[in-house]
Chains A and B, each alone.
Chain A
Amino acid sequence: MSVAHLRIVSTPADTMAEANDASLSDEQVVARLYQGHKDLVFRIGLRYGRGDRTWAEDLTHDVFIDLFRDVDRVRALDNPHAWLYRVATNRCLDRLKSERRRRRLTAVAGNNVSPRGRSGPEEILLESARLRRALQFVDALEPEWRACFYMHHVDALPQKEIAAVLGRSPSNICRILKRIEKRLNAAEREVEDG
């Protein structure tokens, strides 16, 4: 009878101080980082993958397995959270740029976008329709602009940090955000006009 493999158990996130322990093997370092930060990476994948679990899991797998290539650097990190945020975001952008894939809008129905106020059927539909248009808007942005949009409007990151994540200058990010604002205003007007 084959003995089943042992299964990783969710443990509280280990601090980098523990991961820096020289007695840990590379596998242990990566495993601890995975336990501590897998949800961060996975959820970034869900965001850019429009809720597609498989897409997000593929991304998560790639991000953590690739850590083996640079384990020494990873051991020396003070803030693995920020580093993984940057790595995961850029990996998503790389994938988006190389894929031409339309995300399904109706999948959002299961993500509990609860209507505010009274939950009449029309309210639910209105919310769903609004979200669909919002996702259409985001879909139409090129990947890097999409990342700027999310980091600015959803994560509320300052331009300087957005620039650091994307490897661009803050002034460049400012220009991108201004152009996004223009498109957003136009999209809002379209929605209002019906």
Chain B
Amino acid sequence: MAEGAHSPLVDALRSHDRALQRRSTSLAFDERMRRSIASGPPRRRRAWTHWLAAAAAVVMLLGAGSWWVMSNATGGGPDGPPEAVARFVGADVPITECQRDFEERVVHLRGRCTLELEEPGVTVQTWTRATVEPRRDGLVVHDGLVLVDVQKVQAGAAPVRVGVGGGSIEVLGTQFVIYEGTSGGEVELLEGAIRFSRTDGPAIEMEVGDRTRWAAPPETPELVPMIVPAPAPTPVPTIPATDNEAPAPEPAPTRAKRVDSASAEDLNATLVEVARLRERGQYHDALTQLREFRRSVRLPRTMAEVVSFEEGSLLEAKGATAEACEHWARHTRRFSKGQYDAEVQRHSTRLGCAHEPGGN
């Protein structure tokens, strides 16, 4: 029996498998699993719920916990840092569960801590450790892993802002997870909606399940001003025009002039980004990215076929059946006897496309 036959197909599968091994569960999924596991098996869930309700009632009877007021140790005046009023929930539970140290405006948390900021209505929870700085309009996460829950913001009220290394998060009544580390951080949205204003790029409107990362934070992360809510421009590879002499009329003057061939880096980067967007269910953005790339560069036939196939599959994933059918028909006319013939046929059949993709 051959041991690990070194065939190109097997090598390709090994590469693919190695790529898959670099992925891990998302923060949102971990949170869902935590809840499921904490609930125990279904037959025991009812008993646990009753226990929890009883425990919660006991905590409430013991008191709401201690209050503390943070102020600038140097005696903040009008220009000093704002005060924040916060309390730790369940302060009568054993102190070993939550340890906190105060350092001027910053609080270092260790253990299972729940911190409520009454104004604005923000709850911060941490499991092992975190360093946060409550502020009048939100807080700054300096380090660690926190779960942030924000009470719905009333229309017209000032937004709640959470500062992180890579920018600031404007919150609209929402739950999300932030991780901030020495090499960077990430935020994952669990509920609601947020807008993330990056220090190194345009604002990002995030949807449930979205995850955004940033590079190593600056020395002192600052809340950045909220960016005017204009739609972020879709990034397009910057490709200089190669021909400035021939004033050939362009049907779409806003379209970038195509260069002769796409660079490998552009193609690879585009496909990777498209796949990431697809993975997050952002099919519209993935399509936009792909189409912008296709329009901005001149693709060899074989490459164009790959891009076209990807476009069709994104249309399907998006649920645009009619558009997908039309696309498959165009694809087949353009790339007859191509490498995806059989697959396109299957796609069309599965979608129930009216016209035969092989016919004209």
**Beta-carbon contact of A4 and B15 below 8 Å:** no
- Distance from B49 Cβ to chain A, minimum over Cβ atoms (Å): 13
Tell me the nearest residue of chain A to B20, going by C-beta: A46
Q: Which B28-67 residues have C-beta < 8 A from chain A?
A: 29-38, 40-41
**Beta-carbon contact of B127 and A7 below 8 Å:** yes
Interface of A is mostly: helix
A4-B175, A110-B275, A130-B9 as given contacts; A60 in contact with B25, CB under 8 Å: yes
Say which residue of A110, A122, A134, A191 sits within 8 Å of B278 (CB atoms): A110
> A131 contacts which chain B residues (CB < 8 A)?
12-13, 15-16
Tell me the nearest residue of chain B to A9, going by C-beta: B127
Q: How far is the CA of A107 from the CA of B35 in the complex (A)?
A: 30
**Beta-carbon contact of B264 and A121 below 8 Å:** yes
User: For the complex, is B89 an interface residue (Cβ under 8 Å from A)?
Assistant: yes
**Beta-carbon contact of B306 and A125 below 8 Å:** yes
User: For the complex, is B177 an interface residue (Cβ under 8 Å from A)?
Assistant: yes
Q: How far is the CA of A93 from the CA of B303 in the complex (A)?
A: 35
> A10 contacts which chain B residues (CB < 8 A)?
30, 145
- Distance from B94 Cβ to chain A, minimum over Cβ atoms (Å): 16
Q: How far is the CA of A123 from the CA of B309 in the complex (A)?
A: 18
User: For the complex, is A163 an interface residue (Cβ under 8 Å from B)?
Assistant: no
A57-B25, A105-B343 as given contacts; A30 in contact with B37, CB under 8 Å: yes
Say which residue of B9, B14, B263 sits within 8 Å of A191 (CB atoms): B9
Chain B CB within 10 A, most for which of A106, A114, A188: A106
**Beta-carbon contact of B128 and A6 below 8 Å:** no
**Beta-carbon contact of B147 and A3 below 8 Å:** no
**Beta-carbon contact of A188 and B151 below 8 Å:** no
**Beta-carbon contact of A7 and B177 below 8 Å:** yes
Say which residue of A47, A53, A184 sits within 8 Å of B279 (CB atoms): A53
Instruction: List the count of A-B residue pairs having beta carbons below 8 Å apart.
Output: 214
**Beta-carbon contact of A119 and B272 below 8 Å:** no
Say which residue of A65, A114, A184 sits within 8 Å of B7 (CB atoms): A184
**Beta-carbon contact of B20 and A154 below 8 Å:** no
> A156 contacts which chain B residues (CB < 8 A)?
3-4
A5-B35, A46-B20 as given contacts; A184 in contact with B125, CB under 8 Å: no
> B112 contacts which chain A residues (CB < 8 A)?
6
Chain A positions within 8 Å of B, measured between CB atoms, are 1-11, 26-27, 30-31, 34, 38-39, 42-43, 46-47, 51, 53, 57, 60-61, 64-65, 68-69, 102, 104-114, 119-125, 127-131, 133-135, 137-138, 150, 152-154, 156, 159, 174, 177-178, 181, 184-185, 187-188, 191
Q: Jot down 20 A-B pairs with beta carbons below 8 A, ordered by A.
A: A1-B123, A4-B149, A7-B31, A8-B31, A8-B127, A9-B127, A27-B38, A27-B40, A38-B24, A38-B25, A38-B30, A46-B20, A109-B272, A110-B272, A113-B12, A121-B262, A122-B303, A124-B271, A133-B9, A134-B12
